[in-house]
Structure 1
Amino acid sequence: MGKSHSKNPVLTEPWRTINWDNNQDNLWFLNNYKPQLEGQTLRILLYGPAGAGKSSFINSVQSVLLGRPYSQALADNTGHDSFTTEYTTHKIQKVDGSLCSFVFNDIMGLSTHKGVLEEDVALALKGHIKEGYTFDQDTPLSEDSEFYNTSPSPNDKVQVLVCVIPADNISIMDDELLQKIRRIRLVATKLNIAQVTILTKIDALFPEIQRDVRNVYRFLEIKEKMLKVNAYVGIPMNCMFPVRNYHEEINMQMDFDTLILSAMKHIIQYGDDFLKFSQRRLKS
């Protein structure tokens, strides 16, 4: 593969291929996905550093489904403390007003000294946290709290754990934060929960990506960022997806949609695999 001679070499051939003209098929998949189990909803829990773009990703998915910019999850782009403080379920609406068969849960961001407690993330994975619980950065949710769900149903439990990491800050994430991510991963692994990583803020890395998001897989540094995440927290490369969230645009961008739809299709497929595995295990 040849390279350009710019400061940030651009490959003539992408290191990962993606169908940039497949939006309608992927959009159809998201709109029509239904778990095999009647009444089941696929629950996707987002976690990661404060300011990584968890809420923005939820808003971006909803925007793509509606075909217009939409803000459901309150987001903050300062990147300091977590803007999300409550355990909130975000239902995703289709153009016709009906709801998708998957939901997102947004939680307080991880931080070195503050942020959501690992114990609370573990409780959320198991379905023990009720809607509206305000996260306490010092004390985990107790079993005697009105927000503790003593008997979680299958729909209360998480099927996909998505780690949202800002591509422009991977190198400066300290070891304590990375250890927290690893420990949360281990809890999810023991629960056989599917795991995916979303790499946000890719446009902050190179002006070439800001100008044309199709360049995302033409930069080896994007691949190197993903390899670092793989080395730090162990998520396989084929479970990592760079995206460009909507945050300043007032019009939809087809190529932004492509990355978001591609990531979401994989997230749903991995989650559905988890549901099928769980059903087989219950029958055996």
Structure 2
Amino acid sequence: MGGSDSRPQTPPRQRTPSPPRPSPVFDEPWRKMPWGNKHDLEETLRNFKLSNPDVKFVRILIVGEVGAGKSSFINSINDAFQGRITSGALVDATSGTSFTKVYKTHNIRGKDNSILPFVFNDIMGLEPADNHGAHVQDIVSALRGFLKEGYKFNPVNPVSEDDNNYKYNPRVSDQTFCLINIISANDVSRMDDKVVQKMKKIREEASKYNMPQVIIMTKVDAACPLVKEDLTKVYTSNKVKELMQQCSNLLGVPMNNIFPVKNYHEELDTDVNMDVLILKAFDQIVNVANDALIDLNHCDENE
């Protein structure tokens, strides 16, 4: 039998519209920066007074994966202070293995070549394999001031108390007062799990001694086209904030102790905005390191 189909027709299924993609840019910077005001930052750091008059400088230790920019960050701080490109900490852009082989102290100098009251120690880079890169135990020894200047890192056999490079009864100035974890913005999401576990173990050891810890997120311009075009957009970039949050989730360092920077790499002259970003991060590092020194002073007074 013929006739029309009287069954109700199902209306065509409508596609649910995709949620709007988040804007790559915040309307307002979510962290204030004194762009263009390098002078005040620089003067504050030059005139910084440590909380203990018997301590000439505070020691800051830098750790991170090979190629993350540890030595370049030290050089970039010196560049910002001296107003020229320097090369105190040697950098290798080609080998893919750590260029730092020995434990060495790097001073931060002003334009007049005066030594500021902060020193950095650069460590052999971390690598996934246990027989390559810095041994975690050597970094723990460095944190507590047990490594002698010039100690040659051995990826397989860390320093022991019987070693000539082991320093007994380290002075206060031999001890570390801030641990800096260097992470490349390009590599946050693809860092090797074994490297991350090594960094976490170092963090755990540092936490036992109430040592402040920060993350310097390098190569931020390479990770975000907006920032590559204009560095002053770093704190309006959604991408940068996402990467910082990934760093925080990775190591457990709070966001207010994470600082995105662009190290000097191919430049021939310094740049005021790069300097401001670097010096602002350094200012925070110096203050938390000095806070740790204050806490140590209080502990000594209460003993």
- Structure 1 unpaired stretches of 5+: none
| Residue of structure 2 equivalent to 1:59 | 75
Deviation readout 1:26-74 (Å, 9 max, x if unpaired): 1012211121212411100000101110100010000111111111000
Report SS of the residue matched to 2:41. helix
Q: Does 1:126 align with 2:144?
A: yes
Report SS of the residue matched to 2:79. helix
Letter in 2 for 1:222: V
User: Take 1:9 and 1:230, find their aligned partners in 2: how far apart are those partners?
Assistant: 20
Letter in 2 for 1:98: S
- Structure 2 unpaired stretches of 5+: 1-19
| Residue of structure 2 equivalent to 1:259 | 277
Change (3 A) 1:108 1:265: same
Report SS of the residue matched to 1:218. coil
Which stretches of structure 1, 4 residues or longer, exceed 4 Å deviation after superposition?
5-8
Q: Does 1:275 align with 2:290?
A: no
Letter in 2 for 1:63: D
Q: TM-score with structure 2 length normalisation? A: 0.89
| Residue of structure 2 equivalent to 1:152 | 170
Give me the CA root mean square deviation. 1.6
**Percent of counterpart pairs with the same letter?**
41
Contact 1:52-1:79 at 8 Å conserved across structures: no
Letter in 2 for 1:89: T
How is 1:132-211 mapped onto 2 (pairs within 5 angstroms)? 132-211=150-229
Q: Does 1:13 align with 2:31?
A: no
Deviation readout 1:115-140 (Å, 9 max, x if unpaired): 10110010000000000011001011
Letter in 2 for 1:176: K
User: Take 2:95 and 2:69, find their aligned partners in 1: how far apart are those partners?
Assistant: 9
Task: After TM superposition, give the deviation of residue 76 of structure 1 in Å.
Answer: 1.7
User: Take 2:270 and 2:248, find their aligned partners in 1: how far apart are those partners?
Assistant: 31
Q: TM-score with structure 1 length normalisation? A: 0.95
User: Take 1:49 and 1:79, find their aligned partners in 2: how far apart are those partners?
Assistant: 14
User: Take 1:168 and 1:79, find their aligned partners in 2: how far apart are those partners?
Assistant: 18
User: Take 1:80 and 1:133, find their aligned partners in 2: how far apart are those partners?
Assistant: 22
Report SS of the residue matched to 1:78. coil
Bigger mean CA offset, 219-228 vs 118-127: 219-228
In our comparison, the structure showing a higher alpha carbon Rg is 2
Task: After TM superposition, give the deviation of residue 146 of structure 1 in Å.
Answer: 1.4
| Residue of structure 1 equivalent to 2:46 | 31
Contact 1:69-1:252 at 8 Å conserved across structures: yes
How is 1:105-124 mapped onto 2 (pairs within 5 angstroms)? 105-113=121-129, 114-124=132-142
User: Take 1:44 and 1:89, find their aligned partners in 2: how far apart are those partners?
Assistant: 10
User: Take 1:201 and 1:6, find their aligned partners in 2: how far apart are those partners?
Assistant: 25
Report SS of the residue matched to 1:170. helix
Contact 1:26-1:262 at 8 Å conserved across structures: yes
What is the total number of aligned residue pairs between the two structures? 280
Report SS of the residue matched to 2:206. helix
Contact 1:50-1:79 at 8 Å conserved across structures: no
User: Take 1:230 and 1:36, find their aligned partners in 2: how far apart are those partners?
Assistant: 29
Bigger mean CA offset, 28-37 vs 124-133: 28-37
Contact 1:51-1:78 at 8 Å conserved across structures: no
Contact 2:200-2:251 at 8 Å conserved across structures: yes
Contact 2:160-2:166 at 8 Å conserved across structures: yes
